[in-house]
């Protein structure tokens, strides 16, 4: 597909349009948010569904294909926060603790961006390695830990550290994802067929509902971003492009398909807004949540959803 076709196909997909509607609703202060329990239920469904599908793929994959891909993902998890801290130092007036807090979000990854990427690649006819969800699980934790360690020497109170590390490693997103991988790997393709109508058939519909909610929350974050200034906005767009390009190149280098390299790019380029904020709030209470959430949720997430995913796909097609 050509670059423009990719962009148009992405922008007119139901999940992306639902997100746009959510942002507009936030702008006019309409209350269309999902009830808390429904939100929690849907996030559980998405995590488990992605995990189970990834587990089925993991069972069928060759170890020689998985190991280099996991290695490349770990390398991204460790290096992205380091690059992010350096870039923030150049682009923004933020102090060291706020820089580390933002870097933790960009070092980790986003389930919903990954899921939107999978849906997009499937619609574009680009196959993705079945074990891609394993890479999502691998990338979730190391970036947060690296960034928190960078900030540790600047802290006056490290009382929340144990709780923060526990939150990172046993948070519901990583636990549900790993649980799904285990279920999928244990049951295999034959077992998955029984739950496919629920976890596959209606998946994009449920994702659409979730993105409506995300739109409202992201829309509310926009004023925070404006307050911090153009440097942070430049970072929140430049960093994902840089990290995603590195992800695509590394993905192709370790033998992933074009679709697989594109999804590794999406993983590297996306910023966390569920696991990282909770951990950062506990470990770095002095950091301003308006800054890290504004950047990851207010700028990077919408950018990736609208522009990033087709852009990274195009980069993978061009290089692959």
**Which residues contact another protein by CB under 8 A?**
36, 39-40, 43, 157, 159-160, 163, 166, 217, 224, 274, 277-278, 280-282, 285-286, 288-290, 293
Instruction: Give the nearest distance from C-beta 162 to another protein in angstroms.
Output: 9
Q: Are 135 and 108 in contact (CB under 8 A)?
A: no
Identity of the residue, 109 or 245, whose beta carbon is nearer to another protein in the bound complex: 109
Instruction: Give the nearest distance from C-beta 213 to another protein in angstroms.
Output: 9
| DSSP characters over 44-73 | HHHHHHHHHHHHHHHHHS-HHHHHHHHHHH
Identity of the residue, 211 or 254, whose beta carbon is nearer to another protein in the bound complex: 211
Sign of the Cα pseudo-torsion (206, 207, 209, 214, in order): positive
Sign of the Cα pseudo-torsion (222, 225, 230, 234, in order): negative
As a whole number of angstroms, the distance between CA 263 and CA 117 comes to 7
Instruction: Give the nearest distance from C-beta 274 to another protein in angstroms.
Output: 7
Identity of the residue, 222 or 249, whose beta carbon is nearer to another protein in the bound complex: 222
Instruction: Give the nearest distance from C-beta 277 to another protein in angstroms.
Output: 4
Identity of the residue, 43 or 109, whose beta carbon is nearer to another protein in the bound complex: 43
Q: Which of 64, 172, 110, 107 is nearest to 309 (CA)?
A: 110
Identity of the residue, 305 or 311, whose beta carbon is nearer to another protein in the bound complex: 305
**Residues 50, 181, 133, 46, Cα dihedral to 10°:** 20
Instruction: Give the nearest distance from C-beta 262 to another protein in angstroms.
Output: 28
Number of residues in the chain: 320
């Amino acid at each position: 597909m050509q670059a423009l076709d990719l962009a148009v196909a992405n922008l007119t997909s139901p999940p992306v349009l639902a997100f746009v509607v959510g942002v507009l609703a936030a702008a006019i202060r309409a209350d269309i948010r999902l009830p808390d329990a429904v939100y929690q239920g849907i996030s559980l469904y998405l995590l488990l569904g992605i995990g189970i599908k990834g587990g089925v793929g993991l069972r069928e994959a060759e170890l020689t294909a998985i190991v280099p891909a996991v290695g490349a993902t770990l390398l991204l998890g460790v290096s992205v926060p380091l690059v992010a801290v350096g870039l923030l130092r150049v682009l923004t007036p933020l102090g060291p603790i706020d820089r580390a807090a933002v870097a933790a979000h960009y070092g980790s990854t986003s389930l919903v961006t990954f899921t939107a990427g999978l849906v997009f690649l499937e619609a574009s006819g680009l196959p993705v390695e079945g074990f891609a969800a394993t890479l999502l699980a691998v990338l979730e934790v190391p970036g947060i830990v690296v960034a928190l360690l960078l900030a540790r020497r600047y802290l006056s109170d490290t009382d929340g550290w144990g709780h923060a590390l526990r939150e990172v490693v046993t948070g519901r997103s990583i636990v549900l994802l790993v649980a799904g991988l285990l279920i999928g790997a244990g049951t295999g393709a034959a077992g998955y067929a029984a739950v496919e109508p629920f976890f596959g058939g209606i998946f994009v519909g449920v994702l659409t509902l979730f993105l409506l909610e995300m739109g409202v929350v992201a829309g509310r974050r926009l004023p925070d971003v404006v307050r911090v200034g153009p440097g942070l906005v430049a970072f929140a767009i430049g960093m994902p492009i840089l990290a995603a390009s590195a992800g695509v190149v590394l993905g192709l280098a370790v033998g992933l398909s074009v679709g697989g390299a594109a999804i590794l790019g999406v993983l590297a380029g996306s910023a966390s807004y569920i696991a990282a904020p909770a951990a950062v709030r506990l470990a770095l209470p002095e950091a301003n949540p308006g800054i890290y959430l504004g950047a990851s949720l207010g700028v990077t997430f919408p950018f990736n959803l609208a522009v990033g995913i087709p852009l990274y796909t195009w980069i993978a097609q061009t290089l692959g």
